[in-house]
């Protein structure tokens, strides 16, 4: 295999509607690595994930995001997906009238054929169905699932099955899983952790954004990052994730009093 690709985030500042949220994030991640991103509510974890995939609401005001030296800040979400970026949303949207299989066929066609124009050149149905069937077999997902409407009435576990199926089909180089949803029931946690165990490997770098200890027990991160007030204030290994689960963020705030003060200030200005 060639050198693993690297995603590099340098001094990233991001505003939402003129309010600065990220204030100088530095992070590096390579294909094949598992990272955990933790931090208290409102510290900026989802903001970082949305910014990385190019959500238009999040404006980069300073700093850079690059893949193997190519700056991606000016690229639209579709172009970023082609370079191997993937985000599973904390709150996935329901798209009425679009079936799981149709959605995946469009997504895969977009990623694999950069010159594709909307509505043209979809991946041939036979090839697509074979790949979908093989992948669903491998993941023990009933094929009937492909005929459901996307996220329409999905249980927590089914939303996660969709997420894992997308990962398996799209094969991103850098996957961000925002799993902070408090509605993540035990079925959903099991689907994600088993799916990740099956899919992770040298081709995929994974960033798991979570407060759920079980996810990280089954997918042990080599790096754990802690975000506070829009910055990554600490990076450690899996032991750091354990410590945060056991003791919460009081220790982090004590170790980083300036960031803790900024956190307090931001909270006061919004209430
Ligand atoms: N689209 C938006 N519009 C307005 N404010 C936003 C938006 N997105 C994020 N923010 C603000 O940015 C800050 C960081 O929010 P973010 O959702 O990134 O935190 P988080 O670390 O993901 O929190 P949680 O653990 O609750 O998921 C918060 O103060 C939030 O109110
Ligand atoms: Mg969040």
For 177-200, write each residue's pLDDT tens digit. Answer: 998 756 678 888 899 999 999 999
- The answer to whether residues 100 and 145 touch, using CB atoms and an 8 Å cutoff, is yes
264 alpha carbon to ligand 1 midpoint, in Å? Answer: 14
Supply 151's token pair: 């996220």
- Over residues 15-39, the mean pLDDT reads 96
- Per-residue pLDDT tens over the stretch 62-97: 999 999 999 999 999 889 999 999 988 766 677 778
Dihedral, CA atoms, 64, 233, 245, 241, nearest 10 degrees?
Answer: 60
Burial 250-267 (b: 16+ CB within 10 A, else e): eebbeebeebbebbeebe
124-136 pLDDT, tens digit each: 999 999 999 999 9
- Of residues 91 and 18, more confidence is placed in 18
> Six-digit token pair at 159?
């939303």
Residue 50: strand, helix, or coil = helix
- Pocket probe for ligand 1: among 37, 38, 46, the residue whose CB has the most ligand atoms within 8 Å is 46
**35 vs 157, more confident:** 35
pLDDT over 80 (residue 162): yes
Which range in 25-29, 87-91, 104-108, 151-155 is most confidently predicted, on average pLDDT? 25-29
Instruction: Quote the mean pLDDT of the chain.
Output: 91
Q: Is the C-beta atom of 224 inside 6 A of ligand 1? A: no
What pLDDT does 94 receive?
A: 75
Q: How far, in Å, CA of 228 to CA of 187, rounded? A: 30
Q: Is the pLDDT confidence value at 209 over 90? A: yes
Q: Which ligand is nearest to the CA of 89?
A: 2
**CA pair distance 53, 74, nearest whole angstrom:** 11
Which residue has better confidence, 157 or 206?
Answer: 206
Which ligand does the CA of 20 lie closest to? 1
> Residue 242: how many CB atoms within 10 A of its CB?
15
pLDDT in tens, 233-262: 999 999 999 999 999 999 999 999 999 999
**pLDDT greater at residue 37 or residue 90:** 37
pLDDT at 1 over 60: no
Q: Whose CA is nearest to atom 6 of ligand 1?
A: 16
Average pLDDT over residues 98-108: 92
Q: What is the DSSP string of 112-157?
A: H-TTPPTTS-PPPHHHHHHHHHHHHHHTT--GGGGGSBTTTT--HH
Output 147 or 155, whichever has higher pLDDT: 147
Question: Of the bound ligands, which one is closest to the alpha carbon of residue 47?
Answer: 1
Three-state DSSP state, 206: strand
Instruction: Identify the pLDDT of residue 60.
Output: 98
Ligand 1 pocket member 21 (CB < 6 A): yes
Nearest CA to ligand 1 atom 25: 41
Distance (Å) from CA 48 to ligand 1 centroid: 9
Q: Which of 45, 47, 91 to mutate to test the pocket of ligand 1 (most atoms within 8 A of CB)?
A: 47
Q: Is the pTM of this model over 0.85?
A: yes
**Confidence class for position 118, pLDDT limits 50, 70, 90:** low
What is the pLDDT, as a whole number, of residue 91?
66
Tell me: pLDDT of 27 over 60.
yes
Pocket test for ligand 1, best of 43, 56, 182, 262 (most atoms within 8 A of CB): 43
Q: What is the pLDDT of residue 90?
A: 63
Which DSSP symbol is given to 96? T
Ligand 1 in contact with 166 (CB < 6 A)?
Answer: no
Ligand 1 centroid vs 8 CA: distance in angstroms? 22
Among the residues of 54-92, which ranges form H helices? 77-82
Residue 66 Cα to ligand 1 midpoint, Å, equals 23
* Domains, the chain: 6-92+173-270 (3.40.50.300), 95-150 (no CATH)
Atom 18 of ligand 1, nearest CA residue: 44
The closest residue, in CA terms, to atom 24 on ligand 1 is 41
Evaluated on CA atoms 105, 109, 111, 116, the torsion sign reads negative
pLDDT over 60 at 220, yes or no: yes
């Amino acid at each position: 295999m060639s050198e693993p690709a690297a995603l590099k985030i340098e001094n990233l500042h991001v505003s939402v509607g003129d309010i600065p949220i990220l204030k100088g994030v530095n992070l590096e991640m390579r294909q094949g690595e598992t990272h955990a991103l933790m931090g208290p509510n409102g510290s900026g974890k989802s903001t970082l994930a949305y910014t990385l995939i190019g959500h238009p609401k999040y404006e980069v005001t300073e700093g850079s995001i690059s893949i193997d030296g190519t700056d991606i800040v000016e690229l639209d979400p579709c172009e970023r997906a082609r370079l191997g970026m993937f985000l599973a949303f904390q709150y996935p949207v329901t798209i009425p009238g679009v079936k799981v299989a149709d959605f995946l066929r469009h997504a895969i066609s977009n990623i694999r054929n950069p010159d594709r124009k909307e509505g043209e050149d979809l991946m041939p149905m036979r090839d697509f169905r074979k790949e979908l069937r093989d992948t669903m077999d491998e993941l023990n997902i009933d094929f009937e699932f492909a005929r459901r409407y996307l996220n329409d009435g999905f249980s927590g576990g089914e939303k996660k099955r969709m997420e894992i199926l997308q990962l398996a089909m799209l094969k991103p180089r850098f996957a961000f899983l925002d799993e902070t949803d408090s509605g993540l029931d035990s079925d959903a946690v099991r689907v994600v952790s088993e799916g990740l165990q099956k899919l992770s490997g040298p081709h995929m770098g994974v960033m798991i954004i979570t407060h759920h200890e079980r996810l990280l027990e089954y997918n042990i991160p080599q790096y754990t990052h802690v975000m506070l007030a829009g910055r990554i204030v600490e990076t450690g290994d899996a032991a750091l994730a354990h410590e945060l689960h056991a003791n919460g963020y009081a220790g982090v705030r004590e170790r980083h009093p300036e960031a803790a003060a900024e956190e307090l200030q931001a909270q006061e200005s919004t209430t």
